[in-house]
Every structure is written in C-alpha cells, then in structure tokens.
Amino acid sequence: MLTLAELSKALRRAKTTWGPVEVSPELRGWSYDKPPVKPPAYPGLALSDFAYGYCPTYRNIYLKYVLGERGGPSKTLQEGQVLHSVLFKALEDFCRYAYAGVPMSPGLEGVPEDLRDKAEALYKYVAARLIGEYSYALAARLARSRDAAVFYASPIATQVAVDGAPLGLGYVVADGLALGAVVEFKFGPAPNVEAALAGYAMAIEADWGVPVDYGIHVQISVNHAVEYRVTAYPLGDSARSKFLEARDEAVDVAASGRDPGAPPQCPKTCPFYAACHAGGGR
C-alpha cells in the first residue's frame, strides 16, 4: 500500500499546487515552551480524541477525562480498528517475506466474523501490491539491494510513537512516516484531517526537533474491491493554528472539569453517543 512512486507523486502534486510551505517559527512543535504552542495545561489527552472534531463541544473529553467513562466503540470505529490492524500486519508480513522468504498469509484470528471478508480482501490486496512492486524494483534494476527494493515497495515506517507531553498530550502514535511526511490511513469519516495531520507533525517536531512540513491522508474503501485516494497537505500556519485551537478547547474542558453539554447534533459514530443521549442527554 503506497509505493515510493505514489508517495513522491502526491508530495510533488502538493508542492506544485500550493507552492512552498510557510511555517512561522512560533508554530513549530519545538516552540513548546511558549504560546501559542505551549498548552494551557498538561492533561495528557489523546490526539485522536479532539483533533478530528467529532464532538463539536468536546463533551467526549469531559466524559472521558473528567468522569472517567470509557464509551463504547461504534460499528464504524470497530471496523476501522480491525482494518488498521490488518493493514499494519500486512506491511509487517511483507518485510518477513522480503527478508526471510516467509509466505504472506492473512491470519484472521480474532477478526469478527462480519469483518472477515473485508479483512481478507484488504490483506490480499496489500500483499499482491507490495510483492508485485518489490519484484518489479528488482527485475527493472531500480533497486540494487534487497533493502532498496523493500523501500521502493513499502517506504512507510508504521505506528511511530512520540512523546506528546510538551503539547499537553499523551503518547502520539502516527500511522506512518515517509519521505519526511506524516501519513494517516482512514477507513471511515475523516473531518478536519488537515488539522489532525498538523498535530501529529507538531508532536514529532516537539519530540525530535526536525521539521515535518507535509501530511498525507490515505482514504481507503474496502467493499467488493479495495479503493484508495491519496491526498498530500502542506502543514503551514493555517493547519497548525486549527490544531492548536482545538487542542486548547479540549485542554480547557479537561483541566477545568466543566461540562460543555452535548451538541445539538451528534455523530452516531461517537463512542459516547449513548452516554449523551440516554434519557435525553445530560
């Protein structure tokens, strides 16, 4: 999934469309010791709990971090979690195939029965793409070593964790890093993905001290076939400011302990939908 050629094309398209990325020094993640990057408090929030803006009033933050409720994964969320696991397993299995000759196999243990067809279709698609690209890179002499052929086929380092404490967050786990860009795979709705990508980039900048100027969103659909769309975003001042605005509102709710109330309309995919709407909401 996502070869070197696809990633480089997406980044080249973004640079051509939007031009050079402009990032003010005070909006780099490593400026975490002073506003606006410095958080108003340090509650250790999960980035995914607020950056995508699923709850307009951030009541999910109140329920989780103030009242300690856990919520319940919706069907959409559960499907996304399963397919993410299958995708990461396929990428890991490909490395074992390339370096040790271990055949790739879906291994669907633990996958719910109603998701097995989708999980198997995704795994087989990723395996076929990676093995095909790997073989092509070797045969066409694009790669002169096994390492290089693996890089051509699968250039993404997956599930990269950094310490988000300087930004008021817990550990931040990016789906992937490739060519200096942060990568996010989505199987369901992806509102505010540009701001969320900026959050991942700023957390990496804060922890590692290196600039991350682009984010790549990969929207994947798995039905009878696997389809995906790749979009690269420049992570300039606008995206970073949107992330910090969401972060500050979420931190305020967690640190103050105030109940912001349920929004007029809630997405039914929210893990806390039942908590807010049982008995007409709180």
Length of the chain: 282
Percentage of residues of the chain with pLDDT beyond 70: 99
* Sheet strands (E) in 30-143: none
Domains of the chain listed by start with CATH number: 4-19+29-257 (3.90.320)
Contact by Cβ (8 Å): 94, 86 = no
Q: Are strands 214-222 and 226-234 parallel, antiparallel or unpaired?
A: antiparallel
One-letter amino acid at 127 equals A
H/E element, 246: helix 237-256
H/E element, 125: helix 116-139
Q: What is the mean pLDDT of the chain?
A: 93
Identify the three-state secondary structure at position 163: strand
The answer to whether the pTM exceeds 0.75 is yes
Angle at which helices 116-139 and 75-100 pack, to 10 degrees?
30
The helix, strand and coil proportions of the chain, stated in percent and rounded to the nearest 5, come to 50, 15, 35
If pLDDT is split at 50, 70 and 90, which confidence band does 279 have? low
Alpha carbon separation from 243 to 29, 53, 84, 201, 236 (Å, rounded): 12, 10, 23, 11, 11
One-letter amino acid at 218 equals V
pLDDT of 76 strictly over 50 = yes
If pLDDT is split at 50, 70 and 90, which confidence band does 268 have? confident
Helices vs. strands in the chain: H and E counts, helices first: 8, 5
